[in-house]
């Protein structure tokens, strides 16, 4: 044994002794706590609450059959009185809790126990109609109003939805059937939608089978989305995972998403309505995302981007069997911009496209759009990417007279499937550079210093949302579950 190893060994023994002493001391503490309240669940949150209640205090029945809409709403209405007195948390205990839509309140935590399932009602009358979003001018499925989301919040501050991986099940299949048969008069509900709010946390939950998008923060800021498992059939319509929409300062991390549409779709309003509202999505971090999306993108930017999208940082992204990586979707009429986009460390397996930009996406809110409102697509950076079993490396299609500029690709290795008969690159109306990219890129993306690696940009600073500390909160006492 070398000296340094021996020192390390004695250090380890020392540390082990400290731990043993602590453990012995601790066992006495636990002993003495046995009479008092026992902490049952610890979780991390932007803030802990002074007051707690459990759904059953408000008449909740976890039998999977009784509607709990009134129980949820009266519990939250009651707890809203504590907003200025340390806040409150509502505990959803083990059981199956059928419910229609309910509204959240400020300084509030909805804690969904590991063995609790919130089941969305399939009765449309449990989802009252609300106005379309001003930046969309209409519902996405149909003109006019839309069904309110299952869990809804507006004008809030400091809201947490979390749990030890508890479940929210949107039971979306009747909605999908009606959507496909064109039988819906209004737009389908989302699973969670939060408007005009700040300091939002949605974490450690399993979300399944939303009627449409799963998580939709809009016109909001300071948002942490962490540890979500989102599952929907890969053929279900518009079941996007997480859609930050006209939001500032958002962090999405450690999520696993399998769905029928984009895993993450970054948005900011639609055509003339989005241009008029003018609220961009910016300062967005997406990291440690694992995605399966056979017919859509791992991360889509657009197609509704008429308030602008700027400063998106995506890293450590893994995808299997997905249509495309980080895709830009836009069209004449959208206006605004997608700029300062930074992507690094993507590992992709079985993809149709690694890079895809579409300037002719179409899909307009109505005939009132301005075809001269051209989007600016600029400073788009991708680096450190490995992809296997790919059909087409890139399809990069800008807009005639409005090229997409400042595209940079570096350190990219794409293995094209031997079965693919397509040309690996198809570029038009774009400008940019590449470095160490294989297979050899299209001529519009030259390598200016062949042989050397000129890495594309990725910002070195941190966004404010990356340094928001989480506190450890506990649910104390055995009376809840
Ligand atoms: C989510 O769960 C993981 C694993 O149990 C834990 O490390 C993490 O702190 C939790 N996050 C939050 C926000 O509670
Ligand atoms: C929830 O909020 C929406 C929008 O403000 C409102 O239309 C609806 O009536 C509220 N629901 C309840 C039960 O208060
Ligand atoms: C949460 O539950 C889902 C669905 O059961 C499971 O796939 C996932 O691994 C769980 N996540 C954690 C962190 O336990
Ligand atoms: C190139 O990308 C691979 C995969 O992400 C990474 O492991 C490697 O360190 C990168 N090389 C350089 C020189 O940055
Ligand atoms: C490669 O991709 C094709 C689809 O393009 C798929 O059918 C096949 O299973 C994939 N092969 C591997 C080894 O993943
Ligand atoms: C390139 O894409 C255009 C559409 O943007 C398509 O019409 C054309 O056929 C493609 N070319 C090749 C060689 O795949």
| Distance (Å) from CA 392 to ligand 6 centroid | 11
Residue nearest to atom 11 of ligand 3 (CA): 165
**21: burial class by Cβ within 10 Å (0-12, 13-18, 19+)?**
exposed
Residue nearest to atom 14 of ligand 2 (CA): 103
The pLDDT of residue 480: 72
Ligand 2 pocket, CB under 6 A: 73, 103, 130, 152, 154
How far apart CA 340 and CA 164 sit, in angstroms, is: 36
| Distance (Å) from CA 249 to ligand 4 centroid | 28
The pLDDT of residue 144: 86
Active site positions, annotated: 261
The verdict on the CB of residue 240 being under 6 Å from ligand 4 is no
The pLDDT of residue 477: 54
pTM over 0.85: yes
The pLDDT of residue 479: 65
Please state, as a whole number, how many other Cβ atoms lie within 10 Å of the Cβ of residue 449: 10
Cα torsion 295, 337, 196, 221 to 10°: value is 90
| Distance (Å) from CA 356 to ligand 6 centroid | 13
Mutation pick for ligand 2 pocket among 58, 71, 128 (CB with most ligand atoms within 8 Å): 128
| Distance (Å) from CA 376 to ligand 6 centroid | 22
Measured from the alpha carbon of residue 161, the closest ligand is 1
The answer to whether residues 249 and 210 touch, using CB atoms and an 8 Å cutoff, is no
The verdict on the CB of residue 203 being under 6 Å from ligand 1 is yes
For the chain, which residues score pLDDT lower than 50? 1-36
Strand partners of residue 270: none
The pLDDT of residue 404: 98
The pLDDT of residue 158: 98
Strand partners of residue 267: 245
- Give SS3 for 19: helix
pLDDT tens-digit series, residues 327-368? 999 999 999 999 999 999 999 999 999 999 999 999 999 999
């Amino acid at each position: 044994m070398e000296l340094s190893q021996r020192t390390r060994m004695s250090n380890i023994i020392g540390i082990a002794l400290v731990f043993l002493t602590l453990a012995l001391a601790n066992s006495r503490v636990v002993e003495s706590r046995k009479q008092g309240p026992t902490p049952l669940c610890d979780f991390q949150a932007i803030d802990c609450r002074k007051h707690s209640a459990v759904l059953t205090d408000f008449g909740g029945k976890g039998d999977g059959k009784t509607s709990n809409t009134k129980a949820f709403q009266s519990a939250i209405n009651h707890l809203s009185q504590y907003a200025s007195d340390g806040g409150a948390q509502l505990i959803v205990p083990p059981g199956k809790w059928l419910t229609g839509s309910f509204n959240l309140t400020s300084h509030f935590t909805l804690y969904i126990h590991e063995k609790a399932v919130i089941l969305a009602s399939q009765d449309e009358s449990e989802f009252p109609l609300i106005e379309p979003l001003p930046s969309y001018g209409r519902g996405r499925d149909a003109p006019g109003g839309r069904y309110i989301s299952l869990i809804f919040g507006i004008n809030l501050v400091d809201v947490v939805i979390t749990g030890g991986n508890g479940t929210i099940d949107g039971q979306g299949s009747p909605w999908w059937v009606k959507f496909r048969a064109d039988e819906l008069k209004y737009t389908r509900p989302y699973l969670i939608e939060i408007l005009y709010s700040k300091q939002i946390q949605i974490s450690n939950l399993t979300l399944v089978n939303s009627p449409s998008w799963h998580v939709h923060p809009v016109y909001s800021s300071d948002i942490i989305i962490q540890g979500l498992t989102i599952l929907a059939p890969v053929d279900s319509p518009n079941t996007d995972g997480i859609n930050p929409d006209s939001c500032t300062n958002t962090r999405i991390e450690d999520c696993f998403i399998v769905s029928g549409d984009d895993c993450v779709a970054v948005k900011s309003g639609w055509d003339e309505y989005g241009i008029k509202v003018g609220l961009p999505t910016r300062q967005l971090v997406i990291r440690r995302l694992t995605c399966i999306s056979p017919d859509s993108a791992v991360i889509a930017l657009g197609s509704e981007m008429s308030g602008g999208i700027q400063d998106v940082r995506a890293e450590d992204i893994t995808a299997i069997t997905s249509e495309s990586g980080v895709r830009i979707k836009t069209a004449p009429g959208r206006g605004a911009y997608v700029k300062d986009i930074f992507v690094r460390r993507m590992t992709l397996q079985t993809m149709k496209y690694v890079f895809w930009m579409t300037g002719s996406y179409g899909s307009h809110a109505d005939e009132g759009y301005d075809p001269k409102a051209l989007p600016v697509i600029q400073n788009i950076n991708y680096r450190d990417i490995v992809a296997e079993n790919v059909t087409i490396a890139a399809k990069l299609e800008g807009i005639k007279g409005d090229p997409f500029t400042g595209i940079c690709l570096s350190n990219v290795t794409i293995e094209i499937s031997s079965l693919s008969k397509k040309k690996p690159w198809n570029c038009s109306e774009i400008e940019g550079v590449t470095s160490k990219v294989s297979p050899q890129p299209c001529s519009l993306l030259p390598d200016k210093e062949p042989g050397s690696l000129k890495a594309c940009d990725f910002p070195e600073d941190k966004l404010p949302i990356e340094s928001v500390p989480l506190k450890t909160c506990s649910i104390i006492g055995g009376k809840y579950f």
